[in-house]
Every structure is written in structure tokens, then in C-alpha cells.
Amino acid sequence: MTGKSDSGTRSDDDPASGADTHWSQVAQRHYEPDGRGGLTTTIVSAIAEVEGVSPTDLKSPPLYESVDVSAIEDAFFGRDVEEASRQGVGTVEFQYTRYLVKVRSDGWIQVYEPSEAEEV
Amino acid sequence: MSDEDGAARNREEEPFATDASTRGSLPPDILDADHVYSALNHPRRRYLCYTLLEDTEWSLADLATKIAAWESDVPEHEVREDKRDAVYVSLYHAHVPKLVEEDIITFDAATETITVAEHAEQVLAALEGIGGSLDFSQETHARSEMDDREE
């Protein structure tokens, strides 16, 4: 298992979904809003890295079947209204195939996969 | 007196009752506009719809190249590979499925081919109506091709 280094120190921040599932962070990206739908591409490239494939080869199912990324983009990174910038704060989590993906309003995207069941 | 009370009570209840029924009686074409706006509220989806005027069938790879060229303001043969791939990924994972859901295009996953579907005509009519001024900076390329067609 790779990339587990930081999962142990962030228990306060662990995804809550799936009561019995332990998740390990396996990839991280920072998204720079460009207003061109780059959030989808950034999420897909993070997952592709974990899968060891090129982003264009990560195919079925489309991310859209898990989540409408444009809606997240609008909520967190939407255009400024008048002179006030939009400041949605929080995290959106969704599951894509076996992965849990967190998109934070500060632009950090984290990909988790289920870790081995821990002996209790 | 009791009649009056009854009438008043009915009037008070009316606002709650009409909400659902009014919505149900809206003409279908107005409800359909939701599909159009939802489909077109992203620049890449508008670009995609403009390309359907040019051709009713596209391979996803060609479409990504064309849209990347428009966005980067370069000829198609000068589109950088990373830019084209970024567009391709966002089309595949976000915009194409959305337009499929709205019945504007169909997508054959095996051949990665896009073709026009039932609501395409309505969307293209809306695009022609919007005019170039609203989207000028982003969509001059797409508009100019559309306008050339009309001459």
C-alpha cells in the first residue's frame, strides 16, 4: 500500500461514510480554478494516477454518474458576484468506483481507497 | 356565519394548493427550456453544441481537438496534446453525459461517437437566438463558423 503516511495523523478529518470502512489517502491534487471545467480533469487525473493509467484512459463509468462536478465548481469556485467573491466553505465527498473523493473549498482534492481491515 | 368561515378557510388554503397544480399546467415548451439552459450553462457544452451545426456526428477525439483549438485560439493542428487531453477528459466525464441525459446528443461508448438526439434542434435554435454579444469573448470562433454557414 502506498501513500498511507498521513492517514494516521488526520483522524479528525477522516471521511465519515461507511461506518466499517477505513480509508487511506492515495492521491492529492490542488485545483486552480480556471472557469473552464478543469475540476473534472483534475479529479480524473488524480484517480488515474492511483490506477496507474493516463487520464484519457480512465473510462467507465463517467464521473458524471457519481457526481455533477460542475455543481461543485459553481458552489466552491464560482465566478465572483458583483465585487464579492463567493466563499463557499466545506468539503464535498463522493464515491467513484472503489474510491472516496473529497473536494475541499480551498482547492485540495484528496482520493482515498479502502484500506485493509484493521484488527480491533 | 359558518359558510363565511368555510370560504375564508378555503381561500387561505389556496396558496398551498396551487403551487403544484400551476407547475403542472405550464406549457410543455416552457418546461423544456430548463433542458436548454441547463445544457448550455457551461462554455464547453455550448462549444459542443455549436459543433453539431457543422456536423451531426463527431468522434470524441476530433471534438476535443476542435474545442481545444477554439479555447486556445490556435488552428487545430497546433493544439497542444495536454490541452486536448484535458478537454477530452472533461467532455468524457462531465459534459457528454450531461448532454446525453438532456437528450441533446447520444454517445456510443464503444466507438466514442457523438450524434445529435431529440432535443438538439431546440438547443441550436436557442443558440442562434442568444446572439454573439453575450458570449463574445469566449465564443467568437464558434459564432463566426455559425455565421459563415448562414451566408
Quote the cell numbers at residue A101.
473523493
Chain-centre distance for alpha carbon A75: 15
The C-alpha cell at B83 is: 490541452
Are the beta carbons of A40 and B96 separated by less than 8 Å?
no
Q: ipTM above 0.85?
A: no
User: Looking at chain B from residue 21 to 80, which residues have their Cβ under 8 Å from any Cβ of chain A?
Assistant: 41-44, 71
Continuous H helices in B41-131: 43-54, 60-72, 81-90, 96-101, 120-130
Q: Which residues of chain A make contact with B41, given a CB cutoff of 8 A? A: 70
By Cβ distance, the residue of A36, A56, A62 closest to B85 is A56
| Contact between B89 and A70 using a beta-carbon 8 Å cutoff | no
Q: Per residue of chain A (120 residues), what is the pLDDT tens digit?
A: 444 444 444 444 455 555 678 999 999 999 988 656 589 999 999 999 999 999 999 998 999 999 999 888 888 887 665 666 666 789 999 999 999 999 999 999 999 999 876 555
Cα atoms in the Cβ-side hemisphere of radius 13 Å centred on B88: 22
Question: For residue A66, which phi and psi values (nearest 5 degrees)?
Answer: -95, -35
CA A118 to chain centre: 23
Asked if the Cβ–Cβ distance from B96 to A65 is below 8 Å, we say no
pTM over 0.80: no
Residue to substitute from A70, A73, A74, interface B, most B β-carbons within 10 A: A70
